[in-house]
């Protein structure tokens, strides 16, 4: 599982994402150009990764994130790279459920 999490994090780092700036309760998410990111209602941004782990057949993992659009340049991206990294353990759990692996808890 550790190898899978490492590979997912490496692929997730390639997803275009904004950056959170400011204190926790006043945090604003911004694009690389400096514009504010606004959520696009009812829209998801999906990224498919082809993954291969030793002793297993290659498979595709799909990371579905809320779509945000920059108010300045119009670029569509995820809200934060940190949030994507935080979603990796949940993605691994979902992949384990889909593969039928037993849970430890």
HEC letters along the chain: CHHHHHHHHHHHCCCCECEEECCHHHCEEECCCCCEEEEEEEEEEEEEEEECCCCCCCEEEEEEEEEEEECCCCCEEECCHHHHHHHHHHHHHHHHHHHCCCCCC
* pLDDT tens-digit readout, 3-49: 777 877 888 778 888 888 878 777 888 998 989 999 888 888 888 88
Report how far apart, in Å, the C-alpha atoms of 70 and of each of 59, 67, 89 are: 32, 10, 27
Residue 46 has what pLDDT? 86
Q: Given this model, what pLDDT does residue 104 score?
A: 65
Query: Does residue 60 contact residue 51 with C-beta atoms inside 8 Å?
Result: yes
pLDDT digits (tens, 9 = 90+) for 77-104: 988 888 888 878 887 888 788 777 776 6
Q: What is the structure's pLDDT at 105?
A: 58
The domains of the chain are located at 2-99
Average pLDDT, integer, range 50-68: 80
Is the distance from CB of 56 to CB of 90 less than 8 angstroms?
no
């Amino acid at each position: 599982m550790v190898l899978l999490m490492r590979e997912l994090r490496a692929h997730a780092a390639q997803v275009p994402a904004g950056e959170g700036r400011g204190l926790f309760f006043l945090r604003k998410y911004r694009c690389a150009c400096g514009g504010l990111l606004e959520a696009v209602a009812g829209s998801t941004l999906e990224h498919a990764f082809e993954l291969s782990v030793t002793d297993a057949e290659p498979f595709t993992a799909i990371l579905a994130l809320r779509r945000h659009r920059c108010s300045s340049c119009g670029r569509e991206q995820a809200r934060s790279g940190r949030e994507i990294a935080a979603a990796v353990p949940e993605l691994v759990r979902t992949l384990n459920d889909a593969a039928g692996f037993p849970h430890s808890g």
